[in-house]
Amino acid sequence: MREANVDLRILVTGATGFVGSAVLARAALDPTLQLRGAVRRAVTLADGVEPVAIGDLAPVTNWAQAVSGIDAIVHTAARIHQTRDSAADPLAEYRRINVASTVNLARQAVEAGVRRFVFLSSIKVNGERTLPGRSFTADDVPAPIDPYGISKLEAEHALRELSQEFGMEMVIVRPVLIYGPGVKANFLSMMRWIDRGIPLPLGAIPNQRSFVALENLVDLVMTCLHHPAAANQTFLVGDGEDLSTTELLRRTAASMGRRSRLIPVPASALRTVARLLGRGDFAQRLCDSLQVDISKTRELLGWAPPVTVHDALKRTALRFTEQRIR
């Protein structure tokens, strides 16, 4: 790790992932931080970041080299949500990676004297949808539905127990859908549809959904690494501006310099057709509301999203255009 007047020595897991790489890029701008990134195999990371190859994430992974001398950990590595899971027993596989492997890391962190553990969880711990005027809060009773959400909740419980037993400070962050430069999965598919000018039957979806720009999430993670009030707390994170699916498509298209070709099909008709095609879950994500209340995050940490939805969409669209040209 680089030599400096160090205030904090940080390990980021999932160092080459969408969130992990962004956390390291932001942290690398601060000369008072020493940075280490956990990766599967030896790679070059951002300037000033020491890579440590730990192999595959597993319940028996040896983290000794990675956690040695570390003050705080940002744990982003996980088995991410799979829309169409190929595992024979998805819940067992999520538990193996997201619960047992996380606990294994946390126990070794305790032994190494790590003081704070920031865990990237998921809003799926709260549930899949919200009713009109009823946003999720950090203190709601959890109600996960799918194996991914269940595994994240079980990991949260295990980490809290470790914290109570050994005193290592835990900070749990539950993001909503994350977008930003380099985004993949459904958000990338949406931009590709827009870019190709494909007409979409999504012009009359009256829902409201919370999203979080990658830059906003990273800013909160950095705050959680050092803020005294963050210790042993759970935070929800979003952009502070909710959008309908229709408005998201329109604003993303505008950011890309494209025309949004949206056909105003009623949400009820979309749900019916999707169920007939065996894609009811997909229609749910498009049509249901999912809003988060970030007032606890704002008030306890004095934090506010530093990047607007407008600017975040522009930066996301710019990266998409650059990659398309290549």
Told to judge if 148 belongs to the known catalytic residues of this protein, a careful annotator would answer: yes
Q: Tell me the C-alpha distance between 287 and 296, whole Å.
A: 27
For the purposes of burial, counting CB atoms within 10 Å of the CB of 252, is it exposed (0-12), middle (13-18) or buried (19 or more)?
buried
Q: Tell me the C-alpha distance between 323 and 182, whole Å.
A: 9
Q: Would you call 147 helix, strand, or coil by DSSP? A: helix
**112 token code pair:** 């190494």
Stated as kind and residue range, the H or E segment containing 299 is helix 295-301
First CA to last CA distance, the chain:
34
Q: Is the Cβ–Cβ distance between 108 and 63 less than 8 Å?
A: yes
Q: Tell me the C-alpha distance between 60 and 190, whole Å.
A: 38
Query: Which residue among the candidates 18, 148, 187, 211 is catalytic per the annotation?
Result: 148
Closest CA to 296 of 210, 248, 237: 237
200 Cβ neighbours under 8 A, 6+ residues apart:
193, 249, 261, 262, 263
Q: Is the Cβ–Cβ distance between 303 and 316 less than 8 Å?
A: no
Q: Tell me the C-alpha distance between 87 and 63, whole Å.
A: 26
* Residues belonging to the active site: 148
